[in-house]
Structure 1
Amino acid sequence: MKPLRHSLSAMSVVLLAASMGLSPALAAGPSVDKAAIDQAFDDTIARYHLPGLAVGIVEDGEVAYTRTAGELAAGDGEKIDADTLFKIASNSKAMTTGLLARLVDAGKLEWDDPVTKYMPDFRMFDPWVTREMQVRDLLIHNSGLGAGAGDLMLWPEPNHFSRADVIHGLRYLKPTYSFRSRYAYDNTLYIVAGEVAAAAGGAPYETLVRRELFGPLGMDRCQVGEWNRDAVGNIAQPHARRDGVNVVTNEDGAVIPDVPMMAAGGIRCSLRDMLAWATMWLEPETSGLVDGKPWLSPEQREAVWTPQTIMPLSRRMREWDDSHYSAYGYGWRLADVDGTQKVSHTGTLSGMYSALTLLPQKRIGFVILINADADDARTVLNQVLVKQFTAPAQRRTVAHYADALDRDARVAKQQRPVPDTSSRRPAKAAGMAGQLGVYRDPWFGDVSICPVADGVRFASVKSPLMVGDVMRAGNRLLVQWQGSGADTEPWLEFGPETVSPMTLEMSKIDPDADFSSDFEDLSFVRVGDCPRSQAP
């Protein structure tokens, strides 16, 4: 007997839709109000001081709107256009699941196959979970791992973790919840999914994506795996806003590496590419045909968009969208908005944000690409675009939603204030004599906490951007990162000096910081002294 899981059959979805007054039949989409979208575009740039923005809309199988603004890198004079490459981040996930669906269509894979069929050395912390983990479980965030578990092996980039390191490290990540009991977003299992695709498809992941996805769908600018920056050209760079100015962060080198998280969030595409991808999903019988046939069979399209894991239905979704359900399929978020189906995903990397939203019953889809840290900007613009097609009579503006987010942020800050660390001062080696040394975590590797001329420094061996000064704030210790590689600051909590070996735990100072800074999953044990030259 197969274990129970939170999934809904296609018939269940139809019945659910009927119970909420949703029509399962496709309806003609409303025409695009270009003036209103232009206004939202301009207002978003002005409100959030964006260095670059690209927006496109497809309707009834045709591109109905495109607009771009800004520069590849602030101040360089090179304008963003529809062929500019952006990091699409977690919108890569739907491409990975689409690739897997193609392999199912080809008879090379089944969703219920055990992962160990393709990766015999695959291990989770619990042997039972290892044995029971199916291909589908890699895709739907129900593994029992906490949100973002293992992400410190992926970011900040660049680092020295390989794809094999990440997959091997999974066996040391202790679960937070029971297997298949609830939703908690993760990236690391999508890396496994990419390797499952490679094993089943008989070629490296990047080769399969180019052959099975980019080529057939005409997504000619998209890049996966390793590639040359100057040979490709026209590449948006990520930005952060500092002292009122947009500055480039994590600038691309001459060679873009094949990073471990490629299948989870490493693909880059242009606005034109993403509109082709959206059109294929909305118009499968006429767009993206391969030898005259749809890119995916109807059975696999239904499988990918079938709810698998129930997601929390937030207050905002209920109030803004009149939503009644929220779920995760294979690489897609599924919900209802104002009585119509919404299929969507977002992508978030430091300095680069994306969104892809499909309203299949209205035959409408739209893409947002931003080369900045732009969480609120993406949320607001995406919401205004959704409402243009689901509730145009409401005439909601960028200011309406931006003001609402600002109010929510003020309330959240009052309810969950970030601890005040303004009293921080550099820690002294003499005061930490019993805590200095080299510490090891089984999946993250070694870090050193050792004296330097001006105090004590924390440095990771495999994640070289994670280096910072140990500071003392009251009775607690924290790390103040150097440079712009790491941004979420952690507390350091040493075990008692009377217990050998010394232990070290870490946690986020800001409890609401991005979950990818998964310091809470680290469990260090002291394994050696600082180098003699660094002795206090």
Structure 2
Amino acid sequence: MSRFLPPAAALAAAFFCIPAMASQPAPAQAFVEQAVDQAVARYDLPGIAVGVVEDGKVAAVVTRGELAAGSGEPVTPDALFRIASNSKAMTAAVLARLADQGRLRWDDPVTRHLPRFRMHDPWVTRHMQVRDLLVHNSGLGLGAGDLMLWPEPNDFTRADIIAGLAHLQPVTSFRSGYAYDNLLYVVAGEVAAAAGGKPYADLVREQVFAPLGMQGCRVGSWNVDEAGPIARPHRRVDGRNVARDAERGEVPDITSMAAGGIRCSLDDMLRWIGAWLDPAHPWLSPEQRRAAWTGHMPMPVGVRMREWDNSHFHAYGHGWRLSDVDGHWKVAHTGTLSGMYSSVILLPDLRTGIVILINGEAEDARTVLGQVLAKRYTRPDPKLDVAHYAALLDQERSLRREAEPLPDTGSRRPATRREAAGLLGVWRDPWFGEVALCPRGDGIGFASARSPRMRGRLMRVGGDWLVDWDDDGVDAEAWLHPPERRGGTLRLSKVDPEADFSYDYQDLAFVHARACP
């Protein structure tokens, strides 16, 4: 597909173009090819696109696999991937551009731009600033309220997100600690729209895509027929990669767009990191570059970081994670979204950057490959390969499972109407809305009114209650905890404590609303 680039975009595209590879691959190209092939073989990845920038130039581009397993359509550098939470740095960049233009300040109260914004604590509402939306210091718990965003599709709007925040109770005091959240990035997108005078998606196209030549990226609503090749998410079923249905026609805007909804190709992402690795690039002022890569909120330095990377520092900037790796400065982020994994790793002092895009369930593959590629620059050692880091991850998981084995739910059976009589009815949570625990067939169903994929059957596991989801793509089963007293709250919790934090069952508190229809 041909794409017209405006003059500024054409200039950026020319500077960060993807050169044709010579018959004899450059050292970086050969290294990346070998590492990618090892990761694909180890983790049976459906498709992957990886690129490396060295000293301002693209040094390696590697694609493997298919857009959809079994389709015969290869992954190419212009194939669209969901970059998930790597969207956050683009949202922060839109705000930074607006700050450069004098349309907002980082210390503006959020309510200056969104008067309807409310947190649970009125004091926090008054004092939360625009910069606080980006650095995960709100006092909310990990992933609080994410069930309004995922699983998709659902009918929660951005207005619902803003209204729902008032009902999410904090777990720590404001600005006292780090806990990753997505909802406040949705709010950040709405602040940008209010300050910029146009919808968030229009601002991303105007302030990021156009000046950097990222014309393949998609944000907001867009048409499949007007885009390039599209990588489809996959899930693992009986040891196979199974692609989700292909999208057709108009792809709608989604509520989570500013937190994790942007799609880009490898070509586009290499232009994105090229602009960040060039401190003289006029797209963003030095002041805003410093703000983005300043550690505004300290983060824990985990055991893995200390042992693998000799890290001493970890913090969150404006849409970026900051740390030190083997004595080198690292700026990075990851993205995870329903069968799509991404990673961006920048080593600014070395003018080096890495992009990894995968269209499958690939948490370990992303971690391992990111380590191997980064070590080429921070601590070259042929022993630090895919097999080495994969073995370390397997050992970590084994030790965790020994310490905290998964509950045995193999004895599950459908709950009967008689034993579930005290649970029947429509229950309501103030931010998630209603769920129905009502007879379905010869058992009991669980059905969310606003999140249609969250429907399942109520099961018994010994003396416990479990919700077995109908949709295999909702991959975090839930314990159901009845009220401890009459008029009390019904709650949920994860069966697997390591399941994705966006299944924030623990933040739900249902009260009985009425009888089943």
Report the TM-score range of the alignment, normalised by the length of the smaller protein: over 0.9
| Residue ranges of structure 1 left out of the alignment (5+ in a row) | 1-30, 287-293, 532-536
Q: Which residue of 2 aligns with 1:23?
A: none
Following superposition of structure 1 onto structure 2, how do residues 18-417 of structure 1 map, counting pairs within 5 Å? Answer: 32-249=27-244, 251-286=246-281, 294-393=282-381, 395-417=383-405
Following superposition of structure 1 onto structure 2, how do residues 480-519 of structure 1 map, counting pairs within 5 Å? Answer: 480-496=468-484, 499-500=486-487, 503-519=489-505
Measured after TM superposition, the shift of residue 231 of structure 1 is 2.5
Look up the SS of the partner of 2:490 in the other structure: strand
Distance 2:163 2:153 in 1: 19
Contact 2:277–2:353 (CA under 8 A) maintained in structure 1 = yes
Distance 1:301 1:36 in 2: 31
Instruction: Please identify, of 368-377 and 231-240, the stretch whose mean Cα deviation from structure 2 is larger.
Output: 231-240
What letter matches 2:511 in structure 1? Answer: V
Measured after TM superposition, the shift of residue 250 of structure 1 is 6.2
Measured after TM superposition, the shift of residue 252 of structure 1 is 3.0
Look up the SS of the partner of 1:434 in the other structure: helix
Measured after TM superposition, the shift of residue 249 of structure 1 is 3.0
Measured after TM superposition, the shift of residue 253 of structure 1 is 4.3
Look up the SS of the partner of 1:446 in the other structure: strand
Contact 2:28–2:59 (CA under 8 A) maintained in structure 1 = no
Q: Percent identity?
A: 61
> Cα RMSD over matched residues?
1.1
TM-score, normalized by length of structure 1? 0.90
Deviations 1:361-417 (A, max 9, x none): 111001000000100000000000010011113541100000110010000001111
Distance 2:27 2:286 in 1: 28
What letter matches 1:510 in structure 2? Answer: D
Change (3 A) 1:32 1:121: farther
Change (3 A) 1:321 1:32: farther
Distance 1:241 1:495 in 2: 36
Measured after TM superposition, the shift of residue 256 of structure 1 is 1.5
Distance 2:415 2:248 in 1: 35
Deviations 1:81-104 (A, max 9, x none): 000000000000000111101011
Measured after TM superposition, the shift of residue 135 of structure 1 is 0.3
Instruction: Please identify, of 467-476 and 227-236, the stretch whose mean Cα deviation from structure 2 is larger.
Output: 227-236
Q: Which residue of 1 aligns with 2:414?
A: 426
Measured after TM superposition, the shift of residue 430 of structure 1 is 1.2
Contact 1:469–1:482 (CA under 8 A) maintained in structure 2 = yes
**Does 1:452 pair with 2:437?**
no
Look up the SS of the partner of 2:142 in the other structure: coil
Q: Which residue of 2 aligns with 1:475?
A: 463
Count residues in correspondence.
492
Measured after TM superposition, the shift of residue 465 of structure 1 is 0.3
Deviations 1:13-55 (A, max 9, x none): xxxxxxxxxxxxxxxxxx8533222111100000000000000
Contact 1:157–1:485 (CA under 8 A) maintained in structure 2 = no
Look up the SS of the partner of 1:319 in the other structure: helix
What letter matches 2:168 in structure 1? Answer: L
Distance 2:279 2:212 in 1: 11
Distance 2:370 2:242 in 1: 24
Deviations 1:155-204 (A, max 9, x none): 00111111111111000000011100000000000000000001111111
Distance 1:111 1:315 in 2: 33
Instruction: Please identify, of 146-155 and 504-513, the stretch whose mean Cα deviation from structure 2 is larger.
Output: 504-513
Contact 1:187–1:264 (CA under 8 A) maintained in structure 2 = yes
Distance 1:150 1:114 in 2: 22
Deviations 1:259-279 (A, max 9, x none): 111000000000000000000
Distance 1:320 1:285 in 2: 32
Deviations 1:420-455 (A, max 9, x none): 111110000111112100000000000000011120
Distance 2:489 2:140 in 1: 23
What letter matches 1:268 in structure 2? Answer: R
Contact 2:216–2:228 (CA under 8 A) maintained in structure 1 = no
What letter matches 2:76 in structure 1? Answer: D
Measured after TM superposition, the shift of residue 285 of structure 1 is 2.0
Change (3 A) 1:480 1:411: same
Measured after TM superposition, the shift of residue 499 of structure 1 is 1.2
Q: Which residue of 2 aligns with 1:20?
A: none
Measured after TM superposition, the shift of residue 233 of structure 1 is 3.8
Change (3 A) 1:394 1:325: farther
Distance 1:32 1:187 in 2: 39
Measured after TM superposition, the shift of residue 239 of structure 1 is 0.3
TM-score, normalized by length of structure 2? 0.94
Distance 1:394 1:84 in 2: 31
Q: Which residue of 2 aligns with 1:438?
A: 426
Distance 2:440 2:229 in 1: 42
Contact 1:250–1:485 (CA under 8 A) maintained in structure 2 = no
Deviations 1:67-124 (A, max 9, x none): 1011111111111100000000000000011110101100111100000000001000
Look up the SS of the partner of 1:33 in the other structure: helix
Look up the SS of the partner of 1:503 in the other structure: coil
Change (3 A) 1:450 1:330: same
Distance 1:259 1:79 in 2: 27
